[in-house]
Structure 1
Amino acid sequence: MGEATAAMPHPPRAITTAPGFTGAEGLRALLERLAREDGWRSDPAVAQLVGVLREKYALLARKWDRHPDEAVSAAFVVLRAEATRRARDPWAVVTDAVAKTLKAEAHAEWLLISTDRARRPGLVAQERPVRTSGDEEYLTRIAAPAVTGSDDDGLGWLADALVGILAGLGWPADVAEGCVDYVLDHVIRAGRRETAFDELRRDITLLALYELPRESWLTLLRALLGGTGQTGTLARRGMIGRLLLGETAGDLLADDALLLALSDAAPGPRCVP
């Protein structure tokens, strides 16, 4: 066979180019560039940075039962600080800050306290989460049909008790009523407390309607539903569960930590639409 055999072409090698800011100096250079001329709004590298952050901190977010976008938000706060640009290793600063933020937010939900307080371990009661199974029954009781011959829909007494407590702690009555009704309806439709909490904490409907601060909304959710911890656990029963499991409004009013949290979170009359 005298014919020359043509060489088979090799398949092209996949070229994977990592962004230039995955190292410490690259990130520093990017941050210096973004700090000039409002680069955070216009520089196309910002979108690339978001993707890197989401991938980099996805496992850390999962560890603390948070959404990856919450890790991205926490990272952006520290990335814009001048101290981060001047740090020896900017990535180390960002990672440490994100880890502390996610941990604090998780503890705040578990223990029904503010995120700022959860950042200070000496002020956080070390309470072990309790199993959700002890509180599952209240979801089915919420959705249970009204007793035959009753004009009450089965939720009226519960909503009235919750609204009364909130109004007494400085929440505008119509804001309290709107929030309570919205949460109860969402819990019934979601079917599980954990699902409802996870969806509601990202819901901005009432934030827009009542000009409600996000921290007030999150505090209210923790108070009503209890804080969600790792899968299958909750740190403390919410007001809804406590009332349906036999506690009274008086019992709730004797809970100083609960009253302080809700009173501090009261949005004030400016939130009335």
Structure 2
Amino acid sequence: MLLFELTYAVPHGWHDDPRATELMTYAMEKYGGLARKYGLEPSDAAAAAFEVMRMRSTRLAEDPWAVTTHAVELSLIYESRAEGLLCSTGQARRSAGTEYHDAERFSDRESEIADYHPAFHFVDNVDEIDEPKHANPDGDPTNAYFALDIAVRFFVELGWLERTARLGLEIIAARLIRCKERPAAYMSLRRDGTGPGALDIDYEAWLTVLAAVLGNQHHDFAGTTKGHGILQRLVSGEHLNDLFQDTELADAIESVAPAITTRGESHV
């Protein structure tokens, strides 16, 4: 059988034997349509087939092609899923069966994010909400893109490097889009250990950033500016000056600004 010969009969058979090249060419043709079904290239299918064919269980199977076809399709499914979720294939396999949708960029839609995403939609209890310091003269919500940029400026003015501030806010905004609700995004990011490492801050500082950007999730602050968080406040029409006038918020952001380090240093 060819699989046995390539593995045992010929030294470096998978590397040097012309039949291995022919087999991979055939696999590329055989699984090319399957690869395109999942938005991938025939070469991706051939690579998956190569890995499966070298396994002992495939060589011993009654129908090696059936085993290979099934394994290749699963590999293509998870690879396509991984590209959509912007994660590794292993993470995509572990997330099988979950309701996570593919990553979506702000620019993928013509409408502004505040117009269609439920995370930015809420109904205030007028008996509990704080009166805004300054009304928005135009009466229109701030564009979501501008809201993110303004939030970055707010962090930078309080001692953060621009690239660090933007990275942190984009991590939070991406999770907010995925989770759809601010409380869910807050809890997800609170459990995720990648945020502090990405920003070079400790866990407590990370929680301070989350509470500032997404709002304090305690029910006592529901409907207040402290409960709304920076992004919601900006999208609702507040301005950069309003954030600076919130001295408690400004002091919190300034107190957790990462120290400027030389290359190779870390304070986490």
**Do both share a fold (TM > 0.5)?**
no
